[in-house]
Amino acid sequence: MLRKVITVVTCVAGLFCVHPVWAQPTPEETLNHLESIAEFGKSLKNQLGERANLLSSGAQNIVSFGDRWNTLKPMLKRAVERRKFSTNNNELEIQEKALAPKSGSDPLAKSDFFTRLGGSTQSETTVAWCGNNAAIGFNDSGSAAATLLPFIDTSLPPSPSKSGSLSFNGWSISTNAGVSFKDKGVLVADPLPSSSNVKFRDLGGDPVIRCANETTFYYSSLAVDTIDIKASKAVQKIKSGISVSKSTDGGNTWGGAVMAVSKDQGTDANPMHFLDKDWMAVVPGSSLAAAAKDTIYITYTDFDFTVASGRTAIEFVKSTDGGVTWSSTPVVIDEVTGSDKSLQGSQVAVGPTGEIYVAWESYVFTQSGIAVTIKISKSTNGGTSFSTPKKVANLMPAGNGDVFQGILRNGLYLQGLVVDTTSKPTKGNIYISFHSGGKNSQNDVLGVDGKYHFTDAFFCKSENGGNTWSKPVLVNAPTKTKVDHFFPAMAQDKTGDICILYYGRNDSRNFLIDVFVASSSDAGKTWKNTKVSNKSFAPVTGWNDVFVKDSYMGDYLGIAADTSKTNDGCISAWGDNIRGDANILTTKTQ
């Protein structure tokens, strides 16, 4: 392992913003709230059909909650009646103190053990780095436990959400340029807007963190608003959206979550929209301006049920005042209709002259399997309009087409989009990283197309504004045996070096996983791979945690270079299962 592997972080209930006084929901109101979310998940699954498999991990967990509600509901109702759990807090405190000096993390966080059946999953990372300050965001079932269970069992520590909203989001920060990180606990949406009729604003994960400077950080997430909820109401009005929280103290604390975009979810009888898989780019406000404001770009997928045949769209919204207000009408970048087509997994990045690039995945369902294509579009007018989509690459199925060996979902193929903003001759190049089935496969009766496709990490680039693309280059080192490599997240530092973080199988049986960082100093022509994980680990999926989907182990990893271009190198973060559950490990490489 590299000497620069820094620390492990997991989620505990921690610091949170100061909130106005909110009426705390009763346990009965919380059960009503949870039932409305469960029904929302069931409806989403029914309406999407086969396309439900394309939902992001955050959305999949909502669907899974609906699937498990019939099992969870009687458990929670019994808890309301008993009003207490049997956690031995004193024992946990002793073990925490013994472990903390070694790891700098808290693998026995109380919120992870409010119930022994869930709350211990921290994964699907995102990283932002500006100067001395860096932040990691991650999906966190411990946050779900910390914000859900205290309203069912009032003997537990109070929820960090004063409004009673739920959260699946955690974060940690570094004040020494990624040398070490401190877990900061649960990201909550509070304080909710006082002028609205929003009763709950639940944060659903799929985090993306970006920074404009050393003090200003932004955190986007899936979010669901429950409007005018009352304990006696049988039907709740729900809005699906993408929220953005802002920090002005280097990620130490966050203001209330603002909806960048939201649309009516509708009802089972009249379904409308579900917004999924957000991504974000931030352009810092000019220091020369009298009142500098950051510009924020958000892309997402709209699963639109208002069209009879079903519509899926990649859409774009922006803020030009640091997230205070957002464009009222989303820009549609691409859309398809019909149950045999879909779009998902967009990413957005900004070029050296302000041009905006958005890449995404396009799916076509056939009798023989799923055809996946990465596409890209460009805007040169600040996102008012986008060019006709161009094809980047046609991909082969990953794993069996749905999951990898170990029954973890193969997630999104597109994993990285970077535009070269250095002063080197490569300035303006566009880089994309993805995983795809390679040359190695075997016949497999359980494969979507009758095969299991061993998966590799790939890189391709465009030197002419996205008009044409190079042939994909293999990122991971070739192996003698058939094994999987996947989730290749990407960043580029101020020197022009490109870093790619990915999971790789490191045993001939293709069960155990390691973590690698690949680096290239020649614009992606050649790659040097370094193993950064301490020990190989087995997949640990949602079968171990009632708050996440059965096949969940995250859909992406996090890596970032210094946005301020003060430091070189990259900070990486990933979900690591060496302890038997998923915790976050991070490393800094030069």
Q: Residue ranges of the domains in the chain? A: 5-589
CA-CA distance, 50 to 43, in Å (whole number)?
A: 13
Q: HSE-up of 481 (CA within 13 Å, CB side)? A: 10
CA-CA distance, 123 to 574, in Å (whole number)?
A: 7
- List all residues 6 or more positions away from 90 whose beta carbon is below 8 Å from its beta carbon: none
Tell me the CA end-to-end span of the chain in Å, nearest whole number: 14
Residue found by looking up tokens 């989403």 in the block: 44
Structure tokens that stand for 453 in this block: 């496709």
CA-CA distance, 53 to 311, in Å (whole number)?
A: 16
CA-CA distance, 416 to 111, in Å (whole number)?
A: 32
CA-CA distance, 77 to 82, in Å (whole number)?
A: 9
CA-CA distance, 261 to 472, in Å (whole number)?
A: 35
Residue found by looking up tokens 């729900």 in the block: 238
- List all residues 6 or more positions away from 289 whose beta carbon is below 8 Å from its beta carbon: none
Q: HSE-up of 68 (CA within 13 Å, CB side)? A: 20
pLDDT at 546: 86
CATH for 5-589 (2.40.30.10, 2.60.40.10, 2.40.50.140, 2.120.10.10): 2.120.10.10
pLDDT at 14: 34
Contact present, 216 and 238 (Cβ < 8 Å): no
Q: Which helix (H) or strand (E) holds 123?
A: strand 122-130
**Sign of the C-alpha dihedral computed for residues 63, 167, 162 and 195 taken in this order:** negative
CA-CA distance, 491 to 210, in Å (whole number)?
A: 13
How many C-beta neighbours within 10 Å does residue 464 have?
10
How many C-beta neighbours within 10 Å does residue 177 have?
18
Contact present, 146 and 111 (Cβ < 8 Å): yes
Torsions phi, psi of 70, nearest 5?
-65, -25
Torsions phi, psi of 274, nearest 5?
-135, 125
Structure tokens that stand for 254 in this block: 């966050």
Q: Judging by beta carbons within 10 Å of its beta carbon (0-12, 13-18, 19+), is residue 15 exposed, middle or buried?
A: exposed
pLDDT at 100: 26
- Listed as ranges, residues in the chain with pLDDT below 70 are 1-23, 71, 74-75, 77-110, 229-236, 286-292
CA-CA distance, 46 to 215, in Å (whole number)?
A: 44
**What single letter denotes the amino acid at residue 297?**
Y
pLDDT at 267: 78
